[in-house]
Amino acid sequence: MKKKRGYIAAGFLSTVAALTLVTSPNLFAKGDNNTTVSKLEALTKFTQVIGTVEKYYVDDLTINDIINKAIKGLMANLDAHSSFLDEKSFKEMKIQTSGEFGGLGVTVGMRDGALTVIAPLEGTPAFKAGLKTGDIILKINDKSTLNMTLDEAVSLMRGKPKTKIMLTIVRKDEPKPIVVTIIRDIIKIQSVYTKKVDKEILYIRVVSFDKKIVKDIKKALMENPSAKGLILDLRNNPGGLLDQAVGLVDLFVDKGVIVSQKGRIKDENEIFNATSKGTFKHIPIVVLINGGSASASEIVSGSLQDHRRAVLVGEKTFGKGSVQIIMPINKIEALRLTIARYYLPSGRTIQAVGVTPDIIVPFGKVTVEEDGFSIKESELKEHLKSELEKIDGNGADKTKTKKLTPKKEKIITKEDLYNDNQLKEGVDILKALIITQEKK
Question: pLDDT tens digit string along 169-218?
Answer: 999 889 999 999 999 998 877 789 999 998 899 999 998 898 899 999 99
Q: Stretch 356-363: mean pLDDT, rounded?
A: 96
Active-site choice (320, 322, 420, 431) = 320
Q: 65-70 long-range CB contacts below 8 Å, 24 or more apart?
A: 67/16, 70/46
Task: Pick the closest to residue 272 from 246, 238, 254, 292 (CA basis).
Answer: 246
If one compares 222 and 378, the residue with the highest pLDDT of the two is 222
> Max Cα separation, the chain?
105
Query: Quick one: pLDDT at residue 23?
Result: 33
Share of the chain above pLDDT 70, in %: 81
Active site (annotated) includes residue 397 = no
Query: Quick one: pLDDT at residue 45?
Result: 95
Task: Pick the closest to residue 201 from 419, 405, 416 (CA basis).
Answer: 416
Query: Quick one: pLDDT at residue 199?
Result: 82
Active site (annotated) includes residue 306 = yes
Residue 46 pLDDT exceeds 60: yes
Task: Pick the closest to residue 107 from 251, 294, 261, 256 (CA basis).
Answer: 294
Per-residue confidence band for 84, with pLDDT thresholds at 50, 70 and 90? very high
Residue 334 pLDDT exceeds 70: yes
Dump pLDDT digits (tens) for 245-294.
Answer: 999 999 999 999 999 999 998 888 999 999 988 789 999 999 999 999 99
Query: CA dist 97 to 48, 209, 211, Å?
Result: 39, 14, 13
Q: Which 8-state DSSP code applies to residue 267?
A: G
Structural domain boundaries in the chain:
2-61, 87-186, 192-360
Active site (annotated) includes residue 250 = no
Query: Quick one: pLDDT at residue 382?
Result: 60
**192-360 belongs to CATH 3.30.460.80:** no
Query: Quick one: pLDDT at residue 398?
Result: 41
Task: Pick the closest to residue 263 from 82, 115, 113 (CA basis).
Answer: 82
- For residues 312 and 359, the answer to whether their CB atoms sit within 8 Å is yes
The per-residue pLDDT of the chain, averaged, comes to 83
Q: CA 73, CA 50: separation in Å to the nearest integer?
A: 13
If one compares 28 and 324, the residue with the highest pLDDT of the two is 324
Task: Look at phi and psi of residue 162 and say left if phi exceeds 0, alpha if psi is from -120 to 50, else beta.
Answer: left
Q: Which 8-state DSSP code applies to residue 184?
A: -
Active-site choice (228, 306, 322, 431) = 306
Q: Stretch 313-323: mean pLDDT, rounded?
A: 94
Query: Quick one: pLDDT at residue 357?
Result: 98
Residue 125 pLDDT exceeds 80: yes
Dump pLDDT digits (tens) for 391-424.
Answer: 555 544 443 433 333 344 588 988 889 989 999 9
Least confident of 150-164, 225-239, 244-258: 150-164
Residues in the chain: 440
Residue 434 pLDDT exceeds 60: yes
Q: CA 421, CA 364: separation in Å to the nearest integer?
A: 6
Pick the CATH number of 87-186 from 2.40.160.20, 1.20.120.80, 3.10.28.10, 2.30.42.10: 2.30.42.10
Residue 21 pLDDT exceeds 70: no
Query: Quick one: pLDDT at residue 251?
Result: 97
Dump pLDDT digits (tens) for 213-225.
Answer: 999 999 999 999 9
Query: Quick one: pLDDT at residue 326?
Result: 86
Q: Do domains 87-186 and 192-360 have the same CATH topology?
A: no
Q: Stretch 49-73: mean pLDDT, rounded?
A: 95
Tell if the pTM clears 0.85, that is, is over it.
Answer: no
Active-site choice (191, 208, 295, 303) = 295
Dump pLDDT digits (tens) for 132-142.
Answer: 988 999 999 99
Dump pLDDT digits (tens) for 88-116.
Answer: 888 877 765 554 557 898 888 888 889 99
Helix (H) or strand (E) holding 432: helix 421-439
Query: Quick one: pLDDT at residue 7?
Result: 27
Query: Quick one: pLDDT at residue 333?
Result: 94
Spell out where 32-189 has E strands.
83-85, 102-103, 106-111, 114-120, 136-140, 143-144, 164-170, 178-183, 185-186
Task: Pick the closest to residue 299 from 272, 326, 339, 278 (CA basis).
Answer: 272
Q: CA 315, CA 313: separation in Å to the nearest integer?
A: 7
Per-residue confidence band for 5, with pLDDT thresholds at 50, 70 and 90? very low
Q: Stretch 17-38: mean pLDDT, rounded?
A: 51
Query: Quick one: pLDDT at residue 401?
Result: 35
